[in-house]
Structure 1
């Protein structure tokens, strides 16, 4: 359980890097960052798979090759939790502005906690962690300086639908991914992360073809190589390493406890953002982070 908790928090620490990535190199769209991140993840995963086969040729262990059904599962789950999820989020922000979609997405830990509750656990044991997390989210809502529905194309309700679809997509990914890992103990967390990474890289190329900036246009922008560096770091860290850690957490913890740990992404994201900008968080943001941490501790206690 301790290993699973540490792995879940580690995944949150790497996921939080995506909050600060667009601040490091500006001038590139959310779709560009999404594509770059998952293409880097896909290339890194493919490289690891190739090294595994090269190691086999040198007399090492035989690397596992996914069956057609396993490859299909990796492709489907990569759409739910990687490229499809981020595309829906980008579309939601374009239509409804940033504040409201981000708040809707922020309810993912609650849905995973509720839908993934172990049958043997009483609802009363889960309530303290849920309430603390809800209160933390409410405080975060108060600190949002952008009015809901502002910016974008002005299609507020369409944006809300996209945001709800994105929330449902990642919630389904969290639950289905844990279930798949439970049914396939022979596939270790690193192998599964590689298969998901390659599938996400393929999906990212399709996303770039449909929505991304033209290659010539991107390379001509100031800071292009900085953009490539950020995509490589987040693709390997926030996508691949975080996926390995999340797989480890999903194997060792119930979905409800793993779902609670997702809020650590917000906490780490705020810490990175404040460190980069050199600004201290306001009192409500401090209070929200404290509530998130208390919610995690309460959930850990309930699941012991």
Structure 2
């Protein structure tokens, strides 16, 4: 359990980077950020795929079908929606909605558990979920106050509403992804977590390349002002895509797969809170300011909620380690 929690923590630190990238590259469409990230992820995955080619070759057709579905929904669509939502509504609102993932996924995973070790009485699961919810409300109420006091006159109310809707779609995509991913790995312990992360990168590459070509055609036909394909700051764009492609996509996916094999799905879901904490840390570093007391209190609630979740599931039957 300790190794699983540590893997989830490190994955959250990696994933937190994707929340600040749309702000650093605000002049790039969210779709282009998603496609660029996963082209980089796919190219990076070619290296470990070469060294792991025997296990990659042993994956079945069904394994590849699942890898493609997970890559499409949990990678391309999710990040395109998240990046777009952040650019439409600024970082706080999407972070608030994405921050509810520990609660949403835990409820969904416990509603229809895929394994007996995932089933927990609602009365035992409720305290950690309530504490997590209180922490998220504190963190995000402070962020929304900051947003209202720094309203960008170029951003309309309709942008905020559309950003909210797009962020909700991102929540749906990433509610589905970790549950399906975790249960598939648990049902197929022969699949190594590194191999599975690499396979998802390989599955993402052709879809991202095709998406780039289609976006280029659309951009040309629509007379879009975007300078296709690398935009107005090609060097910064390429470096950022390589950074999040390696850290957030390949390393983050690898670590999350390992955590998914070692921990019950509903506990893994609560540990996504590390992503929210990392995103807040990076956002405040980017702003060059310290968080207020409401933020710090919310972070404390989030940490306590994770501890309650760990204690709840540590009393469950142990999960058999992967082969």
Give the TM-score normalised by the residue count of structure 2: 0.81
Structure 2 Cα separation of the partners of residues 50 and 33 of structure 1:
26
What residue in structure 1 maps to residue 301 of structure 2? 291
Once structures 1 and 2 are overlaid, which stretch shifts more, 160-169 or 31-40? 160-169
1:221–1:270 Cα change, 3 Å? same
Deviation at 1:115, TM superposition (A): 2.1
Equivalent residue number for residue 275 of structure 1: 285
CA distance in structure 2 between the partners assigned to 1:120 and 1:23 by the alignment:
39
Cα RMSD (Å): 2.8
**Residues 96 and 154, structure 1, Cα contact 8 Å, conserved in 2:** no
Map of 2:63 onto structure 1: 70
SS of 2:158's partner is: coil
Alignment length (residue pairs) = 294
Distance 1:152 1:20, change over 3 A: same
1:41 aligns with 2:34: no
Aligned ranges 1:56-95 → 2 under 5 Å: 62-65=54-57, 66-90=59-83
Distance 2:160 2:16 in 1: 27
- Structure 1 CA distance, aligned partners of 2:205 and 2:231? 23
Unaligned runs of 5+ in 1: 54-61
Give the 3 Å change call, closer, same or farther, for CA 91–210 of structure 1 in structure 2. farther
Worse-matched range after superposition: 208-217 or 106-115: 208-217
Trace 1:87-106 onto structure 2 (pairs within 5 A).
Answer: 87-90=80-83, 100-106=93-99
Superposed displacement of residue 185, structure 1: 0.9
Name the residue aligned to 1:56.
none
**2:13 match:** 13
Partner Cα distance (2:159, 2:227) in 1 = 31
> What displacement does 1:231 show?
1.0
1:121 matched residue in structure 2: 120
Partner-residue secondary structure (3-state), 1:226: helix
Alpha-carbon distance, 1:96 to partner: 6.6
Cα contact 2:56–2:199 (8 A) shared by 1: no
CA 1:97/1:26 → structure 2, altered by over 3 Å: closer, same or farther?
A: closer
